[in-house]
Structure 1
Amino acid sequence: MGKDIVRKCGRVPLAVKTLGSQLYSKTDEREWKLIRDSAIWKLEREGAGHILPALRLSYNQLPTHLKQCLACCSILPKNYIEFNSRVLINDWMAHGILESREHGDMELEDVGELYFKELWQRSFFQNVKYYYFFYEFDMHDLIHDLVQSVAQGQSLIVDSAGTKGISENVRHLLFFESGQNVSTALQKLNKVRTVAVERCENIDESFLSTCISRFKYLRVLRLFNCLQSLNFYKCVNLEELPRNMRKLISLRWLELTTKQSSFPENGVGCLTSLRYLSIWKCSNLTCLPRDTSFLASLHTLIIGNCEQLDLVMENYQVIPLRLQKLWIQGVPRMTILPEWFQGATNTLQVLFIRDCGNFEALPEWLTSFTSLRILGLRSCPKLLSLPEEMHRLTALTQVTIINCPELERRCQRNTGGDWPKISHVPNVSFE
């Protein structure tokens, strides 16, 4: 039966691999027969050779929740070099696809990563690269064709010249640019749930007004590059953040760039549902929010290229945190990790510090972070040694040290110095 199925796949690796990933764990002979004898093999091949029927069979074998996740991928443009798992999982979350009830007390973001890995293992995603904080991936053109076909015309990718062909039943729209033609075309639509604009240089007020006032079912509005996600990443001309942001009680994901020197009260610091926060290229920012409610719920914190930022919080009492991933880059005023990070003693798994020219020492209390798996240190020339009790970090599996000359020298194997502190780590690299 296996050989029969391979022949029907036209001996094409993508088809064999995708369908094989559905069958490898099935030991009931009847299930193999159902695949071999399916009527789908007789479908007109629509110019896709023997591949499309095999892929459609692979899709039919998916559980319902993964079918919904894959259908959401129909908004991803074809021939894109790299997609980002963070954006995709945010879309799944916004559309209510992710269910945590069947996964105990898992956070929705973690459920989304689980679904992503399942689709990856079933070969619907390819060229997957893990960057500790997210995955980058792409889809084969034929997988993309499959996804478009199962979306049944509910998703459409258009440019300003193609707006006349937009169906009234479309639910997910990706525009490569926005202009008056786009705004006019949107007036006849009322079922839209996703609007994404790839290039926003010429975005006009009528477009935003239509999206916000007309589309009462809107779940995702992506300008540049959601409503549980808000992205101001690299908006270098943003004078100030929206006022009373505390009213965004369901906001879980926030990326921001602002010209402000401080965060206003009743703002970011009050966002108790926040799980992901990225503060990037805020060149005037001098301190973090004084309201610290947001810290208690965060899972990921990224701070980058904030030249004036002082991470020390005055009169701060250490409270238990849920922080799992921390990335600090380009913060020259930081000389040592602030005391308030101690709240993540039991949860922090990934720590990266780079381009911090005045960073001098990792504190001794870091050795009590028993869940820490990955430590990355890069371009911190004043960092000379590691804490004495590093051997206590038994969960540590990877240490990367780059462009920290004295520390690199001390941590080399068989040179004494700091090597005994990390000799228990399976993967130590200096490249």
Structure 2
Amino acid sequence: MAVGGLFLSAFLQMLFDRLMSREVLNFARREGVISKLEKWKKTLLMIQAVFSDAEEKQLTDKAVKMWLDDLQDLAYDVEDILDEFATEALARKLKVEHHQSSSSNSKVQNLIIPACFTSLSPSSVKFNVGMGSKIRSISSRFEEICKQKVELGLQMNAGGVSIAGWQRPTSTCLPTEPAVFGRDEDKAKILEMVLRDEPTDANFSLIPIVGMAGVGKTTLARVAFDDKAVEMFNLRSWVCVSDDFDILRITKSILESITFSPNSLKDLNQIQVQLREAVAGKRFLIVLDDVWSKNYSLWNTLKSPFRAGASGSKILVTTCSTDVALTVGTAEYYNLKLLSDDDCWSVFVKHAFEKRDVGLHRHMGSIRKKVVQKCRGLPLAAETLGGLLRCKQSDDEWDEILNSKIWYLSEESNILPVLRLSYHHLPSHLKRCFAYCAIFPKDYEFEEMESIFQPSSNNSFKFIMHDLVNDLAQWISGETSFRLENEMVTDNKSRRFRRARHSSYTCGFYDGKSKFEVFHEVEHLRTFLPVLSYEIRLLTRYITDVVLSNLLPKFTKLRVLSLKKYYITELPHSIGDLKHLRYINLSETMIRCLPESICSLCNLQFLILRGCYRLKKLPSNLRNLINLRHLVVTYVDLIREMPLGIKELKCLQMLSNFIVGMVTESRLKDLKDFKLLRGELCISRLDYVTNLEDIRDHIN
């Protein structure tokens, strides 16, 4: 299956889950549209049944590719409608609760809900009419998709989605390299862990080696397994586990490698009994290479025969996942880092030139720079590039490969299968998060709280994506993400730009015209992320507020809005109409105040205001942001106090700074109501507190 197909498959599964959610079903019943949603659910099931066939046929049939593109557009639009259902239901609930809490009538009278808060209110009627039209349109598109499914001859696949096509070749314990570069220290540490004689309850211990795909975990395990020092173990076994964690297969493979004879048994119990007898009283070293399963029960079953082994036995596990390392039952694991630039270059030279003279090639300095930049410490990438270039003679051929994305050379490269297997094992919701990363330029430095990939070489407090991981994100996201860089939106890109759900841009002008204006063409944008240089931000400082006032109202589907480090002094009142917004980042802007309308964003989860040194106060009705999880207000010296009712933010998990008010210092006790807070909390304006002894009582 193509990688983009895995993204869409995960998306469809999440969509199906949303259709089955209690909040959506309850609202649909009240509004009389439950039958429509039930029909959508059945249609999705039929589509999922032919999805695997469509993924295979799209490679040779453009009509099928267009069908999948239309299906993805439809899936996004269905999610938008379900989101509107949930938002409207939440808004009505909030109105009822506000009315009941503010009413001064008796308890009996409070139970009477005014018509203005029900589906009979003018606003609700307007919502229902508009929603009815959207539902009819979606239903019609579902019917057309199903009709085309038949016309295209797509067949059901009873086995579901298959990933067998991407599994790595089975690894062996035999060394594939006469020399391994840059791993001497790693090898010494792994051997020390393997040879360490430590008491354990189970007579054996597990040593996970964790690292990103292609970093050389298997190579390191192989080097350790082949070292003379491990000949002290009575029994040694190497098994490639890979994606299919089949206990019967794995147990039989271990048994056969120990006994050096085939085994015809098909009963797990009998095989495990024989394995227990084979290892009884003996010191063993077993390598389980390329493990992905986090199923604790399966692990316990697999390990049970090894309890009969002699003390000091070891099981070495290689995995891309820290979760797997922790699941196997050990708190200690070895984290394998990337290679240095020099060692990465040595791997490339070994495979590209073998015994030929490196100096015979012209422009070797620029070649080294490109190789190091593209491979970024991944020995698998260096090996692949070297293997591709060793048979190329002309400079043009070298430039073509070095300037390409390695994915497009998939027939000759095993990097894509390795990395996309890592993607496959992400949970469905994280698959979508990863695809969203496609809008970030290479070398973009993330804050720790936003996303962690690998430490930046320029800033130890920042993180970046490996170039190949960035390429993978773009591959996966397809046309749903569009990064507008230093070029105009030409005709061949305009269709993709209009279909984009997530977009960023990295400059502000071309030919004296603001690139902001091209976003007027986008109908379904969900993520709006400027990534601009300081010079460009200064050039656009005088028009930004005006442009945003005209532009934001068009982004009715927006979920993520980041204007970090941008020259804006205010947000338009219309920000309150963007009901889907989950994330707003205004860090290091010139913002002076936030419109009260922002408090109507009941879906908002992140409000980041770090370094807004001109911001004077927070909105007074902040309590209405009932889904707010992160409120970051550091380096905002002009804010004098937290707004009333902040204690009602029951979902708050991160509050970077609690500002004690001069008049209302007693509100320090509000901190007791934040049951979900984690991480560091700064309390400012403590000079307003008259009795410091009270602080301990308020925050304990």
Distance change (3 Å), C-alpha of 1:376 and 1:143? same
Query: Aligned-pair distance for 1:294?
Result: 2.8
Distance change (3 Å), C-alpha of 1:351 and 1:151? closer
SS at match of 2:576: helix
Query: Aligned-pair distance for 1:76?
Result: 5.2
1:183-332 aligned at under 5 Å gives the runs 186-189=490-493, 190-192=495-497, 193=500, 196-200=504-508, 202=510, 204-205=512-513, 212-213=520-521, 222-225=529-532, 236-237=541-542, 238-240=544-546, 241-243=548-550, 245=552, 248-256=555-563, 260=569, 265=573, 267-280=574-587, 283=590, 285=592, 287-291=593-597, 293-303=599-609, 304-307=611-614, 309-311=616-618, 313=620, 319=624, 321-332=626-637
- Tell me which residue corresponds to 2:465: 139
The answer to whether the Cα contact below 8 Å between 1:349 and 1:371 also exists between their aligned partners in 2 is: yes
Which residue of the other structure, out of 350, 354, 372, is the alignment partner of 2:654? 350
Quick check: 1:26 aligned with 2:245? yes
- Tell me which residue corresponds to 1:425: none
In structure 1, what residue type is equivalent to 2:486? E
- Tell me which residue corresponds to 2:677: 372
TM-score (norm 2): 0.34
Distance change (3 Å), C-alpha of 1:188 and 1:282? closer
In structure 2, what residue type is equivalent to 1:4? T
Query: Aligned-pair distance for 1:327?
Result: 1.3
In structure 1, what residue type is equivalent to 2:513? E
The answer to whether the Cα contact below 8 Å between 1:18 and 1:58 also exists between their aligned partners in 2 is: no
In structure 2, what residue type is equivalent to 1:349? Q
SS at match of 1:177: coil
Which residue of the other structure, out of 42, 47, 58, is the alignment partner of 2:385? 47
Query: Aligned-pair distance for 1:339?
Result: 0.8
The answer to whether the Cα contact below 8 Å between 1:252 and 1:274 also exists between their aligned partners in 2 is: yes
Q: Deviations over 1:75-119 (max 9, x none)?
A: 6555x26346898xxxxxxxxxxxxxxxxxxxxxxxxxxxx7xxx
Distance change (3 Å), C-alpha of 1:224 and 1:18? farther
Query: Aligned-pair distance for 1:324?
Result: 1.2
In structure 2, what residue type is equivalent to 1:351? L
- Tell me which residue corresponds to 1:102: none
Distance change (3 Å), C-alpha of 1:296 and 1:203? farther
Give the aligned CA root-mean-square deviation in angstroms: 5.6
The answer to whether the Cα contact below 8 Å between 1:199 and 1:224 also exists between their aligned partners in 2 is: yes
Which residue of the other structure, out of 430, 454, 472, is the alignment partner of 1:126? 454
Q: Deviations over 1:372-410 (max 9, x none)?
A: 1123328757466778375676xxxxxxxxxxxxxxxxx
Counterpart Cα distance in 2 of 1:387 and 1:249: 49
Distance change (3 Å), C-alpha of 1:326 and 1:203? farther
SS at match of 2:417: helix
Distance change (3 Å), C-alpha of 1:330 and 1:354? farther
- Tell me which residue corresponds to 1:177: 486
The answer to whether the Cα contact below 8 Å between 2:599 and 2:619 also exists between their aligned partners in 1 is: no
The answer to whether the Cα contact below 8 Å between 1:274 and 1:294 also exists between their aligned partners in 2 is: no
Distance change (3 Å), C-alpha of 1:355 and 1:208? same
Counterpart Cα distance in 1 of 2:432 and 2:174: 27
SS at match of 2:657: strand
The answer to whether the Cα contact below 8 Å between 2:526 and 2:555 also exists between their aligned partners in 1 is: no
Q: Deviations over 1:271-295 (max 9, x none)?
A: 332222234456472x432335435
Counterpart Cα distance in 1 of 2:598 and 2:435: 38
Q: Deviations over 1:173-222 (max 9, x none)?
A: 646523xxx45xx1234344476432335465386666654x78877665
Query: Aligned-pair distance for 1:24?
Result: 9.0
Q: Deviations over 1:316-339 (max 9, x none)?
A: 595572221111134334333211
The answer to whether the Cα contact below 8 Å between 2:455 and 2:463 also exists between their aligned partners in 1 is: yes
1:146-165 aligned at under 5 Å gives the runs 147=472, 151=475
Distance change (3 Å), C-alpha of 1:331 and 1:370? same
Q: Which has the higher contact order (CA 8 A, sep 6+)?
A: 2
In structure 1, what residue type is equivalent to 2:506? E
Q: Which runs of 5+ in 1 are unaligned?
A: 37-43, 88-115, 130-134, 156-169, 226-231, 394-420, 422-431
Which residue of the other structure, out of 438, 445, 470, is the alignment partner of 1:82? 445
The answer to whether the Cα contact below 8 Å between 2:612 and 2:636 also exists between their aligned partners in 1 is: yes
The answer to whether the Cα contact below 8 Å between 1:281 and 1:305 also exists between their aligned partners in 2 is: yes
The answer to whether the Cα contact below 8 Å between 1:355 and 1:378 also exists between their aligned partners in 2 is: yes
Counterpart Cα distance in 2 of 1:71 and 1:31: 33
- Tell me which residue corresponds to 1:162: none
Counterpart Cα distance in 1 of 2:601 and 2:696: 26
Distance change (3 Å), C-alpha of 1:375 and 1:388? farther
TM-score (norm 1): 0.51
Q: Deviations over 1:341-380 (max 9, x none)?
A: 1221x21111112999989956212222111112332875
1:9-20 aligned at under 5 Å gives the runs 14-17=214-217
**The structure with more strand, counted as a fraction of residues:** 1
The answer to whether the Cα contact below 8 Å between 2:628 and 2:651 also exists between their aligned partners in 1 is: yes
- Tell me which residue corresponds to 2:26: none
In structure 2, what residue type is equivalent to 1:198? T
What percentage of aligned pairs have identical amino acids? 20
Query: Aligned-pair distance for 1:300?
Result: 1.5
SS at match of 1:47: helix
Query: Aligned-pair distance for 1:251?
Result: 2.3
